[in-house]
Chains A and B, each alone.
Chain A
Amino acid sequence: MSNQPLLRLADLTKSFGGVMAVNRVSFDVDSGSIVGLIGPNGAGKTTVFNLITGNYRPDKGEILFDGQSIATMRTHRIVSLGIARTFQTIRLFPNMSALENVLAGCHCRMRSGVIGSMLRLPWQKREERQALETAVAELSFVGLRQQLDQVARNLSYGNQRLLEIARALATRPRFLILDEPAGGMNDYETQVLVDLILQIRDRGITVLLIEHDMNLVMKICDNLVVLEYGILIAQGTPEEIRTDQRVIDAYLGAPDADGDEDF
């Protein structure tokens, strides 16, 4: 089954009232690749993410993750199958420390229940120690080892984005979804992020990302999918997309000056 894509969207459709936010979108994401989802604001990119992670139910269509349908599954189940995401607007737990935020991400890989954790059973303590090790390792991986004890809302904007990634990685995903990870980052921070995303891929985690920074997208993505008004207008390698006339008309030719994202 090595040819099977990790994620397959088939004929995915979602409307809000009369607006077709996502209209019969189909694409595959191959295991081990980095795929970029691009398009003008309001094209339905974030809606696609919300459909994959179970925040919305599709009106029609199918989402297969590793051959298994997840279209009607509840979010926490989807996460335990190995899909994690970050948000376009940062949604950390602001009053918890960086470490606690990442520990929350370890939640779904832990087994012990209420009674066990109250009684401090030995295997339960071991599990907690493992979670702590995972959390520290992920914080080090994104370069926040020093900020471990800081309360999340006191971190710099760029570091909050990195913390979100660490938190998502702590759920031990096979598939990571990044919603505008470079949004609001300066050039240096963006470079760090590019290296980080490549390292995540090298860990064997497939990455799907929305990003408006075309330099970043063209540099790291193996494949691109372009949406406009909820319709898939092109997909291919960065070179193919760069020269695609429809994409130039819809998006690249008229780059929008950084703005609010669709929801």
Chain B
Amino acid sequence: MQLFFEQLTNGLAVGGIYALIALGYTMVYGVLKLINFAHGDLFTIGAYLGLTLLVSMGLTSHLGPLAGILVLTIMVMGLVAVIGALLERVAYRPLRTSPRLSAVVSALGASIFFQNAIMLIYGARFRVYPHDILPVTSITLFGVQIPVMRILLFTASIVMMAGLYFFVQRTRTGTAIRAAAIDQGAAKLMGIDVNRVIMYVFLIGPALGGAAGMMVGLYYGQINFTMGWVYGLKAFTAAILGGIGNIPGAMLGGLLLGVIEALGATYISLAWKDAISFLVLILILIFRPTGILGERVADKV
């Protein structure tokens, strides 16, 4: 039972990361009906930028661990958001009226570009995050040892998701994003600048993805230029699991996938961890292609 709870908390922490990345996929899909295949690489960029800023600026030694990481997170999110908006400008906007396949090819091209650019800048080896930033302590809750890091990670992802949900549901810009996702033509006639909405989506999604990249670096300690591929696929699975285009769906799908994966790795086989995730993807595509919270995808696609 202790093992179960330990893996459950682990799954929730990892699932929070999946959810943050999945939000980027699902928001872009919601507005543009495009799978942004370069999103996983924006996640990787977040991880590397986090490392660079952490090491070069010594934020944590000046400000203390928590405040330092908070500032670091904001900086990484801002930078990756700008890269995301540039990506949209350069790779997707010129193809807005082209067949959707062109945009997909452009997305794959952007992904390859980013991956190679990271490799050329940082090298092909694993890079290691300094592991003395946060105290490696655990607290005991109901007889289960939970690393502080795990709790921080989970809390951070929940806070970001709650912020996003509030933003999308309750603010004027959020309403504009939802309106544009439902019917771009009608949204324009409400005076909504759809190009600007798309830009916001490409700022928010990559910001969350970049934060997730940095969190993976802090949690696992090492990063690699190809890590965005696997995480991207997992998060994409999570987005489908929850219902692509659906924001709460991506959050739920991410957390669920993290838990399924952690428990599957524990009770079935560690080696089959990734296979279990993708089995989930296959099953959901066969039995409920709209995802858990998705509805009527058929008339959206």
Contact = CB atoms under 8 A, between A and B. Distances in A.
B5 interface: no
Interface stretch (A40-48, A112-120, A154-162, A226-234): A112-120
A104 B176 CA distance: 7
B187 interface: yes
A103 B175 contact: yes
Contacts of A92: 186
Nearest to B169: A100
Interface in A204-252: none
Contact of B190 (A94, A107, A131): A107
B175 A107 contact: yes
A43 B194 CA distance: 30
Interface string B179-192: 10011011111111
A231 to B, nearest CB: 27
A167 B189 CA distance: 10
A104 B190 contact: yes
B171 A75 contact: no
A79 B182 CA distance: 19
Contact of B200 (A87, A114, A118): A114
Nearest to A172: B191
Nearest to B193: A76
Contact of A171 (B172, B191, B194): B191
Interface in B148-193: 167, 171-176, 178-179, 182-183, 185-193
A118 B190 CA distance: 22
B190 A108 contact: yes
B82 to A, nearest CB: 15
B186 A107 contact: no
A107 B176 contact: yes
B191 A100 contact: no
A75, A108, A109 pick with most chain B CB within 10 angstroms: A75
A79, A80, A128, A171 pick with most chain B CB within 10 angstroms: A79
Contacts of B191: 76, 79-80, 105, 107-109, 171
A117 B173 contact: yes
B185 to A, nearest CB: 7
Interface in A160-218: 167-168, 171
Interface residues of B, number: 22
Contact of B173 (A80, A103, A113, A171): A113
B187 A104 contact: yes
B77 to A, nearest CB: 14
B173, B175, B189, B193 pick with most chain A CB within 10 angstroms: B189
B171 A104 contact: no
Given A95-B182, A104-B190, A104-B192, A118 B175 contact: no
Nearest to A124: B172
A85 B192 contact: no
A118 B171 CA distance: 7
A96 B189 CA distance: 17
Contacts of B192: 76, 104, 107-108
Interface string A90-103: 01111110001001
A140 interface: no
A96 to B, nearest CB: 7
A241 B263 CA distance: 76
Contact of A93 (B171, B186, B193, B194): B186
A23 interface: no
A110 B172 CA distance: 8
Contacts of A107: 172, 175-176, 179, 190-192
B190 A105 contact: yes
B190 A171 contact: yes
A117 B190 contact: no
Contacts of A33: none
A87 B183 CA distance: 12
Given A87-B186, A92-B186, 4 more contacts: A74-B193, A85-B189, A105-B191, A114-B171
Interface of A: 53-55, 74-76, 79-80, 84-85, 87, 91-96, 100, 103-105, 107-110, 112-114, 117-118, 128, 131, 167-168, 171
14 contacts: A74-B188, A75-B189, A79-B188, A79-B190, A79-B191, A84-B189, A91-B185, A93-B183, A93-B186, A96-B179, A104-B179, A112-B172, A118-B171, A128-B172
The 10 closest A-B pairs by CB, nearest first: A108-B191, A75-B188, A117-B171, A79-B191, A91-B186, A93-B182, A76-B193, A104-B179, A104-B190, A76-B191
